[in-house]
Amino acid sequence: MKHTAFTHDNYHAQLSAKIDRITAQFAPFNPPALEVYESPISHFRQRAEFRIWHTDKDGADDMFYAMFERDGKSKKVIKITDFAIASRAINELMPVLLNELKQNSLLKDKLFQIDFLHTLHGQMLVTLIYHKKLDDDWQILAKALADKLNIKLIGRSRGQKLVLTDDFVIEKMNVDVRGQKQAFYYQQIEGGFSQPNAHVCRHMLNFACDVADKISQHDKKDLLELYCGNANFTLPLSGYFNQVLATEMAKSSVNAAKWAIDYNNINNIAIARLSAQEFSQAYHGEREFRRLAKSDIDIKSYDFNTVFVDPPRAGIDDETLKILADFDNIIYISCNPDTLFENLQSLNHTHKIKRFALFDQFAYTHHIESGVWLARR
């Protein structure tokens, strides 16, 4: 399948539809003019996942990358020969890797899926997923393949995960912090969450930092961050506040965030392994958590004036919204305009939108990433 629809006109047509949709939807809140941050037209995704489809070609087993297209009630198999929305490095590796796998019966047998994770920093992690148990012979051949292609490689099957070197790649983001370009390094874990469009992610980081700069110029205090993930926003935002308390529930993300804090030599961030609901309980003194005590975190010692949130698609629950209403400033990044709209119906009683942005994180799809700065009325 050759992708030929990625043109300047096609891209801006879909982007205009998103702008019209979100502008109309949020008009009741009377926001300021929408700031629009575009995606590159092609080669913008740092992640890609493909099924591997096996066929009998001239009496020999052949295979190709595949995706599926709905055809009525059934699925139609689409052969993928290139994938123009994925990074150039992924596109360059795809045929080379497939050819290497085809030449070895042990590596290609019962291969079900291949996942790619690439970073702007130049690291590549490939996961090979099988419908069979992987043995020592597979590991020897896979290690040789990884060395030959200069990639990190993981083998997976049911109940099995074989990491040949690392289960993560390092990303580097250059962000404008107080007018100076600053490099931040992150650990992106296989199977974990990371922003798929790294180019747009930089726009998101710069937007958040610009808002934080405006806030800290008038009132530099402490920052609370909920749903911090691998500390994607936490690191650059830390330069604008005295202290940062960031919360995250997933252990792998907490570990990645702690790695990033140490690697970037930042000393004013504390990570608490709490869900947003658990933080609400701790914040209101309804429950004590050993996890906070073990990390020497005293929530009462913080002087918060700003909260940063980047919640999942379901948005923010009612109890957490009550906490947000206590803050002078809210920086809210959303991957779902519908749940953002619902949350703003509550927050609009106490806060007014000062900035409103659309980040085209998911180009050529209906998904919309947006950001708002809410200041207390």
CATH number of the CATH domain containing 292: 3.40.50.150
The residue among 118, 134, 169 that closes a domain is: 169
Let me know whether 29 and 124 are in one domain.
no
Q: What CA–CA distances, in Å, run from 116 to 112, 227, 310? A: 14, 25, 25
Identify whether 286 is a catalytic site residue: no
CA quadruple 240, 31, 311, 125: dihedral sign? negative
284 within a domain of the structure (yes/no) = yes
Query: What are the residue ranges in the chain where pLDDT is below 70?
Result: 1-5, 57-60
CA–CA–CA angle 189, 195, 200 (5° rounding): 145
77 within a domain of the structure (yes/no) = yes
190 within a domain of the structure (yes/no) = no
Kindly report the backbone phi and psi dihedral angles of residue 67, in degrees, each rounded to the nearest multiple of 5, phi listed first: -130, 175
Asked if residue 357 lies in contact with residue 34, where contact means CB atoms within 8 angstroms, the answer is yes
Let me know whether 247 and 333 are in one domain.
yes
Question: How crowded is residue 160: how many other Cβ atoms within 10 Å of its Cβ?
Answer: 11
Amino acid type, 37? Y
Let me know whether 60 and 154 are in one domain.
yes
pLDDT of residue 1: 39
**pTM of the prediction?**
0.92
Please give the helix or strand (H or E) that residue 187 lies within, else none: strand 180-189
Asked if residue 44 lies in contact with residue 197, where contact means CB atoms within 8 angstroms, the answer is yes
Let me know whether 252 and 301 are in one domain.
yes
Enclosing domain of residue 314:
8-42+196-376
Let me know whether 124 and 206 are in one domain.
no
The residue among 169, 188, 210 that closes a domain is: 169
Q: Give the separation between CA 259 and CA 265, rounded to whole angstroms.
A: 10
308 within a domain of the structure (yes/no) = yes
17 within a domain of the structure (yes/no) = yes
Instruction: Name the one residue in this structure whose structure tokens are 């119906």.
Output: 345
248 is in an annotated binding site: yes
Q: What is the CATH number of the domain that holds 71?
A: 2.40.50.1070
Identify whether 335 is a catalytic site residue: yes
3 within a domain of the structure (yes/no) = no
Let me know whether 33 and 144 are in one domain.
no
Asked if residue 363 lies in contact with residue 14, where contact means CB atoms within 8 angstroms, the answer is yes
pLDDT of residue 168: 96
pLDDT of residue 99: 96
Let me know whether 316 and 205 are in one domain.
yes
Question: How crowded is residue 39: how many other Cβ atoms within 10 Å of its Cβ?
Answer: 21
Closest CA to 61 of 127, 108, 129: 108
Let me know whether 96 and 128 are in one domain.
yes
288 is in an annotated binding site: no
Pair of tokens at residue 362: 């998911």
Let me know whether 126 and 156 are in one domain.
yes
267 is in an annotated binding site: no
Tens of pLDDT, residue by residue over 304-329, are 999 999 999 999 999 899 999 999 99
Let me know whether 108 and 75 are in one domain.
yes
Question: In a 3-state reduction of DSSP, which class is residue 244?
Answer: strand
Count of domains observed in the chain: 2
188 is in an annotated binding site: no
Q: 133: buried, middle or exposed (CB in 10 Å: 19+, 13-18, 0-12)? A: exposed
Q: Using N-to-C axis directions, what is the helix angle for 88-102 and 136-149, rounded to 10°?
A: 140
Let me know whether 295 and 243 are in one domain.
yes
149 within a domain of the structure (yes/no) = yes
pLDDT of residue 192: 87
Amino acid type, 25? Q
- Which of 201, 209, 228, 335 is catalytic? The answer is 335
Question: In a 3-state reduction of DSSP, which class is residue 87?
Answer: coil
Asked if residue 230 lies in contact with residue 192, where contact means CB atoms within 8 angstroms, the answer is yes
180 within a domain of the structure (yes/no) = no
38 is in an annotated binding site: no
Q: Give the separation between CA 319 and CA 300, rounded to whole angstroms.
A: 19
Let me know whether 34 and 74 are in one domain.
no
- Which of 190, 225, 278, 369 is catalytic? The answer is 369
